[in-house]
Amino acid sequence: MEEHYLETLELHKVLEQLAAHSSFTVSHEKALALRPAIDLAEVRRRQAATREARRLLDLKPNFTIGGVRDIRTQIRRASVGALLTPEDLLQVVSTIAGGRIVRGTITKLGDQLPTLQEVTLPIGLHDDLEQEIRRAISDTGEVMDSASPTLAGIRMELRRAHERLMAKLNEIVASPSYRQVLQEPIVTQRAGRYVVPVKAEFKGQIKGIVHDQSASGATVFLEPLAVMDLTNRWRQLQIDEEHEIERILRHLAGLVGRDAEPLERTLDALAEVDLFLAQAKLAEAMRAESPILLDISQHRQGSGKTARRGDRETGRRGDAERWGSPLPKGEGQGEGWSTQDSALRTRDSAPSTQHRGQAGGTPALPAEPIVRLVNARHPLLTGHVVPITVELGGDFDVLVITGPNTGGKTVALRTVGLLCLMAQCGLHIPAEEPSAVSVFRAVYADIGDEQSIEQSLSTFSSHMTHIVDILEKADGESLVLLDELGAGTDPQEGSALARSILSHLLTRGIPTIATTHYSELKSFAHTTPRVENASVEFDLETLSPTFKLNIGLPGRSNTLAIASRLGMRQEIVEEAKQLVEPADLEIEGLLAQLSKDREQARQARAEAERLREQARAQLARLNAELSEMDERKQAILERAKEQSEQELADLRQRVQQITRELERVRTEREAAASLAAVTQQVEALRPLRLPKQRRQRRQPMYTQELKVGQTVYLASLQTVGVVSSLPDDRGELEVQVGNLRTRVKASELSRTDQPVPTATPSSDITYRFSREAPDISIQLDLRGRRPQEAEEELDRYLNDAYLYGMKTVRIIHGKGTGALRQAVRQQLATSPLVRHFEAADARDGGDGATVVSLAN
């Protein structure tokens, strides 16, 4: 873009504000040199970077590129072999460290800052260079002993030489022989060498070299000959130190020169990051937003689309839906797009509609605008700024703005042009969402001082020169802004020339906004397809402009009304009205009536909007209440479900409790019946018992005395039996009494010499007696047992179950490998207590359990 037009739109003033937010010289220069990009992808990249910079400052409000310095001079000097001072090297180190911090911070947030992360990729770490400089240069800019072993050695010798020199000088000034010779017993320096103050009259008494004398001549400063060699040695070591420091600095400068290109890339990337941070800070200061970016080339492909005025509102609402935002409200000043409501354009009649539409009266789909600014503010204006809302390129390609002087026409023109340039620079614009701008290849502006009262031929010639240049260079991807088109010459010829220029621009499809005072251009905009009127308002009551821009309504001159309000004699005003063409007066009257009707329609629309908002609020409230009712209903159903489930669970628990109680009663009855049967059998054994007096003489036996086959006396049964097994851990053992086998405590047995009596019970059955009736379950779980363990436990269980009269039991052995199941069923097959057994039902365990019918 040409600098002349950028200066006309005062882009440089915005860039000066941008530069004020930068942190160091390089980014400051970049800000001032910033120019609009014409590539859509590049503009999108810049806008994305500015958005991410604002996000970065939100996440880390104190983030800066602190420590980064402009080291371009140091890099250039080092690259040609020049010496760098310690201060220069510290600035290089500070910039390297600052770049490392910037890159690390942005990399950690890379998923949120992808564009900024890409910007930081050229930032190098330069670890080796930084370490070398920090090893040699202290934070205060001194070359340290660690810079080289040679320097460390020289400085050690230098300190020793200085100590010897000072010791000798102090010996001289303290000597009594020199007390009268010396003016003062002190040591001082002249020309870098140590001297003593000697009285002038005694200078011959001390051999040495005079380096200076006092202003009065009474004192000479003499270097004693006795310390001259020491001084020479000390000075030589100082020179050696300076040479070594110079060598070290040249070495470090050589390292900087070696990394010149990477350092320049690092510095440039840091400056670009700082520039985007400055753009973010400027956006915050302006309360700016990121605009939607449009492709002007796509608009050119669809620029032949037109629509009848009666269909514009429908198209505009369709645009709003495609843009993902409702139509704003109001009159173009914070109240939105309704200023362009075609329903309010009462001048649109059927003939004009047909004239402005396509052939045959069939409307085409409306094209989307190439510029749409919502409540836009000029960034250079201060104080209370009235925002404007303007669009171009949707229903019209040429916008003609009319209205009185000082009404804001030129400000509107400058606002559109400057905001487009800012957006293409990557700056956010002071406008509200959903503002959008196209990426133009060029923006041309011919804007003069509309307040000037000098309308000379030279002014007209200057304007025409610029317009000729614009007409030669502009194309459909340019934006043309013309202020006071045709002014500065004969009104009739100027108006004709203005209409011709606008027709030429329209024919070539060049988006154009122009301001004018000519009434003929109002009619031209009204009757020409894809040309639209706009006006700035003027308050006749206060005789001041409102600075509001109304699209779709031409402006009134208000000349006679203003003169009358300012006190012009009425007869003069009336005479002036007689001199005005009747058609012009009629147009002014129609415009006044149209403005009045428009205001009434605006108020009616505002009232309708208010009622619609109330209806929306009421609908939202009802929806909220309905949702709340649904939630309460669901909660009630959930509580009822939970309550019913709890009651069912309680009922099931009660049924299980009753079932267990019934089982217990049945078991007790069966146990009582079994006990009665056992009692009968025990009674049958009574003849086998010994007399009472002999039982009383029995002595208890100890566990270790018992042996299998031994005859013992059972006190509980009052009979004699034979030991069948030794006592277990609980002290229980089995005793055979005739054909009856019982399990008793060893403590219940005693010695006896009596033979074992014989008896013949009704059947060969094994019993297990206990003093208390055990709680026998209807099933036995043997899972996890070894076959031998299971055999013993199963034998005891069958004895107990049979003893207490149980009919059917269930043995659980699991499926597994089948070994335990096989062992269980083999034992059941040989047991005299088992009448029948079979695998459990599939629903009751299948082959994992066996149902046993006992011989009761």
Coil, strand or helix at 713? strand
Q: Give the sheet arrangement for strand 711-714, strand by strand.
A: 740-745, 732-737, 719-723, 711-714, 749-751
Rounded CA gap, 533 and 512, in Å?
12
Which pLDDT score, from 0 to 100, does residue 400 have?
A: 92
The 10s digit of each residue's pLDDT in 754-806 is 776 654 444 444 444 443 445 677 888 888 888 888 888 888 888 888 877 78
Give me the mean pLDDT over the 502-525 stretch.
88
Residue 61: half-sphere exposure toward Cβ, Cα within 13 Å: 1
Q: What is the mean pLDDT of residues 167-191?
A: 89
Task: Write out pLDDT tens, residues 618-628.
Answer: 898 889 888 88
Which tops the pLDDT comparison, 683 or 95? 95
> How much of the chain exceeds pLDDT 70, in percent?
77
pLDDT band at 354 (very low <50, low <70, confident <90, very high): very low
**Tens digit of each residue's pLDDT (9 = 90 or more) over 149-165:** 999 999 999 999 999 99
Tokens of 717: 């049964």
Q: Retrieve residue 332's tokens.
A: 């173009």
Higher-confidence residue: 342 or 504? 504
Question: Mean pLDDT, to the nearest integer, of 324-338?
Answer: 36
pLDDT digits (tens, 9 = 90+) for 38-91: 999 999 999 999 999 999 999 999 999 988 999 999 999 999 999 999 999 999
Q: Whole-angstrom Cα distance, residue 474 to residue 480?
A: 8
Which alpha helices (DSSP H) does 804-834 contain, by range? 819-830
**What average pLDDT does this structure show over 521-544?**
77
Distance CA 810, CA 430 (A): 88
> Residues, the chain, total?
856
> What's the order of all strands across the beta sheet hosting 371-376?
292-294, 432-438, 371-376, 388-392
Percent of the chain with pLDDT over 90: 39
| Residue 170 pLDDT exceeds 60 | yes
d(CA 33, CA 268): 14
Instruction: State mean pLDDT over 452-459.
Output: 48
Per-residue pLDDT, averaged over 843-852, amounts to 85
pLDDT in tens, 277-303: 999 999 999 999 999 999 988 766 655
Contact 257, 78 (CB under 8 A): yes
pLDDT at 221: 93
Helix (H, G, I), strand (E, B) or coil at 195: strand
Selected residue with higher pLDDT from 558 and 7: 7
pLDDT for position 721: 84
Contact 688, 708 (CB under 8 A): no
Give pLDDT, residue 340.
35
What pLDDT does residue 762 have? Answer: 41
Q: Alpha-carbon distance 231 to 739, whole Å?
A: 132
Query: By the 8 A CB rule, do 810 and 850 touch?
Result: yes
3-state SS track over 499-549: HHHHHHHHHCCCCEEEEECCHHHHHHHHHCCCEEEEEEEEECCCCEEEEEE
Nearest to 132 by CA among 256, 257, 263: 256
- DSSP label at residue 208: E
* pLDDT for residue 139: 92
pLDDT score of 37: 95
Please, what is the angle between helix 40-59 and helix 260-286, to 10°? 80
pTM higher than the cut 0.85? no
Mean pLDDT of 400-412: 81
User: What six digits make up the tokens of 218?
Assistant: 């009474």
If you average pLDDT over every residue of the chain, what do you get?
80
Q: With bands split at pLDDT 50, 70 and 90, how would you rate the model's confidence at 701?
A: low
- 347-379 burial, b at 16+ Cβ within 10 Å, e below that, comes to ebeeebbeebbeeeeebeebbbbbbbbbbbbbb
For residue 41, how many other CB atoms are within 10 A of its CB? 10
Q: Is pLDDT at 317 greater than 50 in this prediction?
A: no
Helix residue spans in 137-179 (DSSP H) = 149-174
Distance CA 115, CA 117 (A): 5
What pLDDT digit, counting tens, does each position of 558-600 carry?
666 666 766 778 878 777 767 666 655 555 555 655 666 666 7
pLDDT score recorded for residue 678: 56
Q: Which helix (H) or strand (E) holds 652?
A: helix 582-684
pLDDT-derived band at 700 (thresholds 50, 70, 90) equals: low
